[in-house]
Amino acid sequence: MSDCVFCKIIAGELPADVSFEDDKVVVFASIDPKAKTHLLIVPRKHIRTIAEMEEGDEILVGHMVKIGKEVAAKLGLKGYKLNFNVGEGGGQEVFHIHLHLLS
């Protein structure tokens, strides 16, 4: 998506404080943190919202949760939240699915 800010970050067209990446996801700091630790786990595949997932995307979403757990452990977080905002009514502001890791 040419106008998607997260796609631009993933492509290296926009700067971000990237803390982890693999072939499926990129993890970077939120530019509008809501907690001391606020990272975004973003899939390389552009999916506008959880409500628009297709067959097979559940594997990618499961990977996002797994990476959230691993990043939290690497940071030594004793407790944390993993949160998806779904749709405008659910507080989603960037329409490329992303998992918030907050602590």
Question: What's the CATH number for 5-102?
Answer: 3.30.428.10
- Give me the pLDDT at residue 76, please: 98
Please give the Cα distance from 37 to 3 (Å, whole number): 27
- Give me the pLDDT at residue 1, please: 57
Residue 29 CA: distances (Å) to CA of 15, 58, 70: 11, 24, 16
Question: Which of these is catalytic: 46, 96, 98, 100?
Answer: 98
100 CB-contact burial (10 Å; exposed 0-12 / middle 13-18 / buried 19+): buried
Domain boundaries in the chain? 5-102
Assess contact for 59 and 80: CB atoms under 8 A: no
**pLDDT > 90: what percent of the chain?**
98
Ranges of residues in the chain whose predicted pLDDT is under 50: none
Is position 38 annotated as part of the catalytic site? Answer: no
